[in-house]
Structure 1
Amino acid sequence: MSDQATTGRRDRRRYTPKPEIVSLLKVSGNPVNGLGEKDIRRPSPHFWHPPDLHPWGELQLVARTNSRKCPGSAEAFAAAYERRELLPVATQRNAAPAAELSAAATQFALAHEADDVGIAAMDPLYVFEGYRIDEPWVIVLALAHDYERLKQVPSDETNGAGVCDVGDQYARGTRASYALANWIRSQGYNAHPYPGPSADALLLIPPAIASGLGELGKHGSIISRHFGSGVRLAAVTTDMPLTPTGPDRFGADDFCQTCQICTRECPPGAIVEQKQMVRGVERWYVDFDKCIPYFAEAASCGICIAVCPWTRPRVRPKLLATMARRLDQATSHPGASELSAPALES
């Protein structure tokens, strides 16, 4: 067995895209995503929307085809597209108070494959341009990766463990979101599920952050205090009266300011060291034009979330404790504590 197989570490050398891949990147994705824009606006449809809504349909097909070459991947992602039929909305409504309904919905979701649950009020900025969502609430579901499988990314035709775990979590998200939507409908309220891996009307990361499921990481994905970056998202929108759970600041964003691990490990060099202005908000942003060609050619990726120190089960508790102390010091004595990344142990 090779060293790569025993350590779970795949080939992560620096990457130069093939000319045929570059030719499929017909339009830069960074302006479409709003990079450099100072005005706040809704997001535009992106790479994982239906190909008639963006200019990267051929590249999307390459990405799907290459990922399905990995052993077990086709079956894993097929399960993510097995959608249940939505039940009709019950004629009699459960008139319990919002707090009680929120607790019941959360309990149901956790009992039906979700690993964490957050609730946020709907914001028009969560909805992609060209789409419409009428429900005033969004329930976001977190689905945790299996770290031992995830850390084997990027996948290839000899080892599909990493990409199969991605497909498995999306499949859990599909089952969990449809189950929750049907439960809410049985209570007499409208509900619509929004699972991955394909994109739909709802942007998932912003309501996940607003509802307390995590903070945005330098790699552009959410970092959860419970699962690190190894988490996928699904959601349900509804008109059931709910109470929001609120954001959770535990130090991930501060840690990312000085941590360089995902920046160094990204083969195409798509992760930059500073926040950038994106649709009127200064935040972390991953270079679309560098990331997506590698993603398509390498049978998906996931390296940045796998190497993130927050994703490592034995490291995460130490980080939480360290960043809690530093956040407390910064609050008690502004300017007295420098929130730099602490030294890590394996």
Structure 2
Amino acid sequence: MIRILPHIRRIKRAQKRSIISLEKNPENPETIASDDFLQDLELTLTTMGVSEIGYATVSEDEIFQQKGILYTNAIVITAPMDREKIDTAPSLDSSDTSFASYAMLGEIVNQVAGFLRTNGFGAQADPALGGKVSFPNLAEKAKIGVRGRHGLLISPANGPCQRIAAIYTSITNLPVSSENPHAWIRDFCKTCGECARNCPGDAIDRGTDPGSEIRRPFLDAKKCHPYFEDRHGCGVCIRVCPFHIQGYERIRAMVKER
């Protein structure tokens, strides 16, 4: 706990800032962003350490109960965790990189929300920990990747070794994609099951069709949470995932050869 406390403090500060800063939103925010502005925004996010960027529209039924968002237009971002530390999971090192990524993304979404407000747009930061929606679901909807059997997002840049956050904005012309080029991942996960076989809490669904429904639970939270909380993290499902070990492109090449 002593080791991850600095990250937790950063996470708490980001969560608090995301709420306090809402009063800085313009009364009549702009709704249309130029292509140049969006390109500059993506470049800025990349220089801040963001791996992938996607866009999605949030529906009302995707928002957690007793939560709320100001805008339904979402900018979804991911940031990597340290692969070498994740390879030691479950451990203090793997917990350290997990909480460090949460903290980093919390700070980034607040900075981006501030940048958007400065340019006349409304914005609401949603830090990576304690989000108002399911981030893996939202990232899949934003076409960044697809949720694997373990329920985590699998994407080209990081496989499952990442954290996710979002900024909700008044910008209505975000470049939302209509097709997800990563849908093949779901078929691979049907015949893999490494995460389920290695889960120390036996919490991952071992069925033959994981993820066929958008709301289908991948994990039994009653089994996952006690193990996770007792060790302040886990990460085994990430460590054993073929997309983490071999990488997205190699797995895709193998699938094409079959």
Aligned length: 250
Q: How far apart are the structure 1 equivalents of 2:28 and 2:63? A: 29
For 1:318, give the aligned amino acid. R
Tell me if the contact between 2:149 and 2:210 (Cα under 8 Å) persists in the aligned partners: no
In structure 1, the residue matched to 2:102 is 170
Letter in 2 for 1:104: D
Residues in 1 aligned to 2:34 and 2:239: alpha-carbon distance in whole angstroms: 37
Q: TM-score, normalised by structure 1?
A: 0.65
CA distance in 2, matches of 1:281, 1:196: 20
Q: Structure 1: how far apart are the matches of 2:39 and 2:108?
A: 16
User: Within 5 Å, which residues of 2 pair with 1:1-346?
Assistant: 68=1, 72-83=3-14, 84=17, 86=21, 88-89=24-25, 97=33, 99-155=35-91, 160-197=92-129, 199-241=130-172, 242-246=174-178, 247-249=180-182, 251-274=184-207, 275=209, 281=214, 283=216, 285-312=218-245, 314-323=246-255, 325=256
Matched AA of 2:134: L
Shift of 1:118: 0.6
CA–CA separation in structure 2 for the residues paired with 1:285 and 1:121: 23
1:135 partner SS: coil
C-alpha separation between the residues in 1 aligned to 2:248 and 2:214? 28
Aligned residues of 1:92 and 1:187 also touching (Cα < 8 A): no
CA distance in 1, matches of 2:43, 2:177: 14
Unaligned runs of 5+ in 1: 1-67, 327-336, 338-346
The corresponding residue for 1:10 is none
CA 1:245 to 1:277, structure 2 compared with 1: closer, same or farther past 3 Å?
closer
- The 1:74/1:89 distance shift into structure 2, 3 A limit, reads same
Identity of aligned residues (%): 23
Report the secondary structure of 2:13's partner residue: coil
Higher mean Cα deviation, 87-96 or 298-307?
A: 87-96
* Pair member with larger Rg: 1
Q: CA RMSD in A?
A: 2.6
CA separation in 2, counterparts of 1:120 and 1:224?
Answer: 16
Larger helix share, 1 or 2: 2
Q: TM-score, normalised by structure 2?
A: 0.86
Shift of 1:284: 5.6
Query: Using the alignment, how far apart are the partners of 1:166 and 1:206 within structure 2?
Result: 19
Deviation digits for residues 273-307 of structure 1 (CA, Å, limit 9, x no counterpart) = 224799x7574611112111211223321110121
Deviation per CA, 1:65-100: give whole Å up to 9, x if none.
Answer: xxx2xx522222222223256383468977864544
Q: Distance in 2 between matches of 1:217 and 1:175?
A: 27
